[in-house]
Amino acid sequence: MNIIEFEPVGRRGKCPENESLLDSARRLDVDIVRLCNGVGVCGRCKVQIITGEVSPISPREKEVLTGKEAERNYRLACLTHPLGNVKVHVPPESLTAPQRTQVEGLELDVPPAPSFQSVSVELAPPTIEKQLADETNLMDALNRAGACARSFDLEALRRMPPLLRAENWRARAAIRNGEVIAIETASTRWCGMAVDIGTTKIAVYLVDMESGKTLASRGLMNPQISYGEDVVSRISSAIRSVENADKLQALLVEALNETIALLCADAGVDRRGVVDAVIVGNTAIHHLFLKLPVSQLGLAPYVPALRSEIDVKARDLGLEIAAGAYVHLLPNIAGYVGADHVAMILGTRLADAAGVTLAIDIGTNTEICLNKRGEMASVSCASGPAFEGAHIKHGMRAAPGAIEHVSITGGRPAVQTIGGEPPAGICGSGLLDAAAQMLLNGVMDSSGKILPHPKVRVREDGMKEFVLAERPGKDDITLSQKDIRELQVAKAAIRLGIRALMEEMGVVKQEIDEVIIAGAFGTFIDVESAIVIGMLPSLERERFRQVGNAAGTGARLALVSLAERLQAAATASRIRYIELAAISEFNQKFAESSYFGA
Amino acid sequence: MNIIEFEPVGRRGKCPENESLLDSARRLDVDIVRLCNGVGVCGRCKVQIITGEVSPISPREKEVLTGKEAERNYRLACLTHPLGNVKVHVPPESLTAPQRTQVEGLELDVPPAPSFQSVSVELAPPTIEKQLADETNLMDALNRAGACARSFDLEALRRMPPLLRAENWRARAAIRNGEVIAIETASTRWCGMAVDIGTTKIAVYLVDMESGKTLASRGLMNPQISYGEDVVSRISSAIRSVENADKLQALLVEALNETIALLCADAGVDRRGVVDAVIVGNTAIHHLFLKLPVSQLGLAPYVPALRSEIDVKARDLGLEIAAGAYVHLLPNIAGYVGADHVAMILGTRLADAAGVTLAIDIGTNTEICLNKRGEMASVSCASGPAFEGAHIKHGMRAAPGAIEHVSITGGRPAVQTIGGEPPAGICGSGLLDAAAQMLLNGVMDSSGKILPHPKVRVREDGMKEFVLAERPGKDDITLSQKDIRELQVAKAAIRLGIRALMEEMGVVKQEIDEVIIAGAFGTFIDVESAIVIGMLPSLERERFRQVGNAAGTGARLALVSLAERLQAAATASRIRYIELAAISEFNQKFAESSYFGA
């Protein structure tokens, strides 16, 4: 028996030597994708061996894995056996949905350079002969200890006198730009919070500000969704009444406060030690969160109220963290290219890329940035909520029972659901796979028209639909002609965005050295399928990199390092914004982009 | 008929030439004190002739007025007749109570040097080709116009987009330390607010920040009084529960918000243009207003949570003024010598005095500062609420019907009431007069014991009382032995405070060049009476100066000029605090101080 440990899920246990890593994972409740049921066909169960000896690489793995992957010790879990104790990293794309959240992303690689100083002091208690005010007493001690404290946050000040007395005149202070923003016990571990607020989902990270390590993270739904799936409906709602605008802000704040409480409990820290926060989101979300007016975002020329980065007292937003903590919001670029895009660029190091790199953050709204040897431009495209399963008859979010992968073999569709449960619907990655497979297997043509096929039937209303999964006694799960049209619009928007950027900057496809796919959804799509239907440019699979929530990574980088905030501000100023609606022959180009096919 | 104008009350009208200024004042409803009913005896109707010709000075006036007063054109209103149009200044001590509020004080004499820059701009509206964010647009324009704007207050930012559009892209901004704290219409007149919060009364001033002129002022009662007359009971109350502490703060804020609204209406300005505020109060009031913990103020060694000056966002306190305005609170000196004392020192220019000067701010708590050729020390003494009429059987505040002045002629008391109404009770200045007259006329001895006298009677409970005013059909207004004891404690506290300072600094009485009496109450007392009973040192009347609400003046100085704030901070650091309770032989000295007599 060997001890196998799966990261970052953090499960470990004893497993027999003759068991594949895939089976060991299942034994330990780590849900790795097993579309082909562990026979080495689908190639979806890629894992990275971190430490320990495993069986030699098989010929099938050599076919499926790229050279770079093999080099970095990637293996197919179904074809790999342990030869001793092994530590395995399961990349997010190899996990089924219940365990993969929108918080996965690149690890941080910068030395912490936080926005505050931390200073511990021990004070002399005042006496009747030396009636030193607490504040004077503390300030003197801080400055003697090398701090540069000049002013005091009111909330921190309110907290200080009882704390000093309870803690026998010992305390730790956080000082930011000369302002004492928190006074806590001498053993306090200062933390920070990085938040990526997406239109649909929110990722929250609790970070140790001394080490820069992420202590805990959580993903949650954006509760504003009750005011509309897309930002345009939320903007309309906020414009309609002040109450709506208040509510839209309050919903976010409540959700964040709850999540901070959970994360602090997860990590065993006190929320009063959370002294810094970085929050990113698209421009509309950013404005709604700050309760800035949004009318001007909804009308031409669609300008933000605020472009620059801003530091706001957490309490002014209702966030319950350290007494005098500030929240830093990264800069926006334009009305529809926001701080989350800046964070994504930061998190992917796109601005530092040497050649020609395209970075795509796919979501309800998709932002794309092209870096052509240092010259950078971005567009925004309204890809809509189809990838979240909305407006698709059997669509659903990536939850247990959702069809996440589809293949058609011998004319018959095979589906893989999240958690291996009976199919309940289809999520975004399943949709991409299904469309690609339908195209490759002649179930539809490149115009998106569903063709006659044994699995295609005509509904009573005359609409054609392709049967993905039969469910005796229940509605079969199908993709209708209308569903295909929805997907078509989403993929056309992204395709057109990429084309517009390339044309604007004079880049041809083969010049593109790398395509970075960011965002929770982008992490789980099958790139091949996305190429097949023409959503992504047809380039060698090696040139693509799926990085998970890069905006979350960028937010964490900006949290732990002031240098990263400066970098973000500099990058935001440097990016040219291209208004997609203003490109020449928009309608014609949009129509062209809607064709399926690489 | 001549036109007579009375300042600062601001009444003017036609008056016959043969009428005294005192009678003209009465005709115009300006209530000047007339204790002797206008026959030149009491010397209380002093006024200053500002412009115009009046009758030559009479021999009686030469007796009553000091040389300095005569030099500065002071006259007795009852003996002076106009010889043409005349402008008359009525000093606060010559007004009866209903018109004298706690807002009277010295006029400001400093050039405005406000804490913010004011910059007006006109912006180019954004276009689809140039989608400039409002904030970027404004910042660029401000900095082109010579401002130094780097950051933006969130509330100001929220207000900006609709304002810019409504005002056709013209606006005026207030910028403080690089932060845009307000954006208003181009015609906005920036104002400031200076507030002196006393234990009993509050004075609020609305000041034009460009000219430094006071536009309007109002006095009001401190609503915290429902939680106790003195600060000690309010401290106890705040310690008992968080709700009490919240309420004590909320009461002040509500009262201030109402008063600001009234003052803005008085002056015809918008409260959103009130971009700065300076607030002073004693240490307990200062802490209750900031909702700082007060437990440590109530227990030895009685230390403040905060000594230094502080700038706090007005919204963090609930004050409804300009979007991003700050409130500046002057520094405290010790637990019982607060920011109001610093303001008083600023307002009286005590720190600049060349010789030996004593400044006394009489109130429920009395603070005294002695400047001995640049060396400064302060004490605080708990004089209690007797001067406000509390704990005195027939005591009342200075309101219509209150006996404010007393004389005894031929053994019979004569009283002057506020507003000339039938006597309803006795206020602080009346109390001092009564005690002095009782002492001078053998109604009590220097130990404070009431002696046999035709107007002294013995009550059923055996207590002696002196009848001040008979009221047929009603209780007579009397001063009992117990009332005298209350007064005695109050005056002893002040006397001891003065003595402790003089001993500590090695000053003898004749060295004192000037005694400044500040505070609303101090303005209206008869200095002679205070000397007679031994509350104030017996010095020539010329050495005394009654300056009205000097703390209010100091607050206004700090409001209009940053240099004054620096001066206040420097002064506060320089003052030595002497703890009265810690002086040697306290009990013995207190007993000595309680004796009546100069």
ipTM for this prediction = 0.82
Q: How far is B130 from chain A (nearest CA, A)?
A: 8
Q: Find which of A462-476, B101-115, B229-243, B555-569 is predicted with most confidence, using mean pLDDT.
A: B555-569
Q: Where are the beta strands (DSSP E) in A470-593?
A: 477-480, 514-518, 544-548, 576-577
Is A131 in Cβ contact with B577 (below 8 Å)?
yes
**Mean pLDDT to the nearest integer, B450-455:** 96
The predicted structure's pLDDT at residue B104:
59
User: Which chain A positions have a beta carbon within 8 Å of B312's beta carbon?
Assistant: 154
Q: Three-state secondary structure along B372-398? A: ECCEEEEEEECCCHHHHCCCCCCECCC
Task: Name the more confident of B37 and A71.
Answer: A71
Size of interface A-B (CB pairs under 8 A): 135
What pLDDT is stored for residue B519 in this prediction? 85
Cβ distance of A303 and B135 shorter than 8 Å: no
Q: Note the pLDDT of residue B92.
A: 66
State mean pLDDT over B369-379. 97
- How is residue A122 written in tokens? 């021990």
Chain B residue with minimum CA distance to A165: B296
Structure tokens at A532: 């097949």
What's the pLDDT at A130? 87
Which residues of chain A from 303 to 362 reach within 8 Å of chain B, CB to CB? 303-308, 310-313, 315-316, 332, 334-335
Out of A131, A158, A310, name the one closest to residue B152 (CB). Answer: A310
Which chain A residues have a beta carbon less than 8 Å from that of B131?
301-303, 334-335, 577, 579
Q: What is the mean pLDDT of residues B482-490?
A: 95
Which of B132, B153, B154, B297 is the best substitution to test chain A (most A C-beta atoms within 10 A)? B154
Which of A290, A308, A335 is closest, CB to CB, to B131? A335
Given a cut of 80, whether residue B11 has pLDDT beyond it is: no
- Does the distance separating the beta carbons of A158 and B131 come in below 8 Å? no
Of residues B33 and A246, more confidently modeled: A246
Per-residue pLDDT at B105 exceeds 70:
no
Residue in B closest to A163 by C-alpha: B293
Among chain B residues, the shortest Cα distance to A296 is held by: B161
Rounded Cα gap, residues A369 and A359, in angstroms: 5
Alpha helices per DSSP H over B388-443:
428-440
Q: Do A311 and B128 touch (CB under 8 A)?
A: no
Q: Which of B161, B291, B303 sits opposite A296 (nearest CB)?
A: B161
Q: Do A134 and B332 touch (CB under 8 A)?
A: no
Q: Which secondary-structure segment (H or E) carries A340?
A: helix A339-348
Averaged confidence pLDDT in chain B? 91
What are A482-541's pLDDT values in tens digits?
Answer: 999 999 999 999 999 999 999 999 999 999 999 999 987 888 899 999 999 999 999 998
Note the maximum CA span of chain A. Answer: 97
State how far the Cα of B430 lies from the Cα of B402, in Å rounded to an integer.
8
**Predicted pLDDT of residue A66:** 83
- Cis ω on the peptide bond leading into residue A8 (within 30° of 0)? yes
Query: By the CB < 8 Å criterion, does B83 face chain A?
Result: no
pLDDT surpasses 70 at B10: no
pLDDT for the residue numbered A102: 56
Which B residues, 284 through 313, put their C-beta within 8 Å of a C-beta on chain A? 290-293, 295-296, 300-308, 310-313
Position B515 scores a pLDDT of: 97
Cβ neighbour number for residue B69 with a 10 Å cutoff = 16
- For the entire predicted model, the pTM comes to 0.82
Residue B8: predicted pLDDT: 65
Query: What pLDDT is stored for residue B219 in this prediction?
Result: 86
B-chain residue closest to A152, CA distance: B310
The minimum CA-CA distance between A303 and chain B, rounded to whole Å, is 5
pLDDT at B34: 75
B309 to chain A nearest CA, in Å?
9
Higher pLDDT, B473 or B515: B515
pLDDT number for residue B243: 95
Write out pLDDT tens, residues B269-318. Answer: 999 999 999 999 999 999 999 999 999 998 889 999 999 999 999 999 99
Tens of pLDDT, residues A93-150: 777 755 455 566 666 678 999 999 999 999 999 998 888 999 999 999 999 999 999 9
Chain A nearest CA to B20, separation (Å) = 56
Give yes or no for a contact between A561 and A113, defined as CB atoms under 8 angstroms apart.
yes
Give CA B525 to chain center in angstroms.
Answer: 14
B191 backbone dihedrals φ, ψ, rounded to 5°: -120, 170
Contact A292 B136 (CB under 8 A): no
Chain B contact present for A152, CB below 8 A: yes
> Residue B501 above 60 pLDDT?
yes
Q: Are B304 and A134 contacting, i.e. CB atoms less than 8 angstroms apart?
A: yes
High-pLDDT (> 70) share of chain B, %: 97
A575 to chain B nearest CA, in Å?
14
pLDDT tens digits for B177-223? Answer: 999 999 999 999 999 999 999 988 899 999 999 999 999 998 888 88
Chain B residue numbers touching A166 (CB-CB < 8 A): none
Which residue in chain B is spatially nearest to A293 when comparing CA positions? B158
- List the single residue in B with minimal CA-CA distance to A139: B308
Instruction: Note whether A291 contacts B158, CB cutoff 8 Å.
Output: yes
Contact A275, A174 (CB under 8 A): yes
Q: Which of A280, A263, A267 is nearest to A201 (CA)?
A: A280
Specify the pLDDT at position B107. 63
Q: What is the mean pLDDT of residues B533-561?
A: 94
Judging contacts by C-beta atoms under 8 Å, the chain A residues touching residue B128 are 300-302, 579, 582
Which residue is associated with the tokens 């540069």?
A: A148
Structure tokens at A393: 């008859």
Give the separation between CA B275 and CA B269, rounded to whole angstroms: 12
With CA atoms as reference, the chain A residue closest to B132 would be A303
Give the Cα separation of B260 and B205 in Å (integer).
Answer: 9
Can you state the percent helix, strand and coil of chain B, rounding each to 5?
Answer: 35, 25, 35
Contact B132 A303 (CB under 8 A): yes
* Ranges of residues in chain A whose predicted pLDDT is under 70: 8-10, 92, 97-108
Nearest CA in chain B to A307: B133
Query: Which one of B126, B307, B311 has the shortest CB-CB distance to A135?
Result: B307
Structure tokens at A302: 């669609």
Q: Which pLDDT score, from 0 to 100, does residue B307 have? A: 97
B149 at A interface, C-beta within 8 A: no
Other CB atoms within a 10 A radius of the CB of residue A419 amount to 16
Radius of gyration of chain A (CA): 26
| Interface-testing mutation among A123, A130, A132, A136, with chain B (most B C-beta atoms within 10 A) | A136
Average pLDDT over residues B535-540: 95
Which of B136, B139, B140, B328 best probes binding to A when mutated, by most A CB atoms within 10 angstroms?
B136
The rounded distance, in Å, linking the Cα atoms of B90 and B523 is 13
Contact A157 B305 (CB under 8 A): yes
In whole angstroms, what is the distance from residue A372 CA to residue A575 CA? 11
Q: What is the pLDDT of residue A97?
A: 58
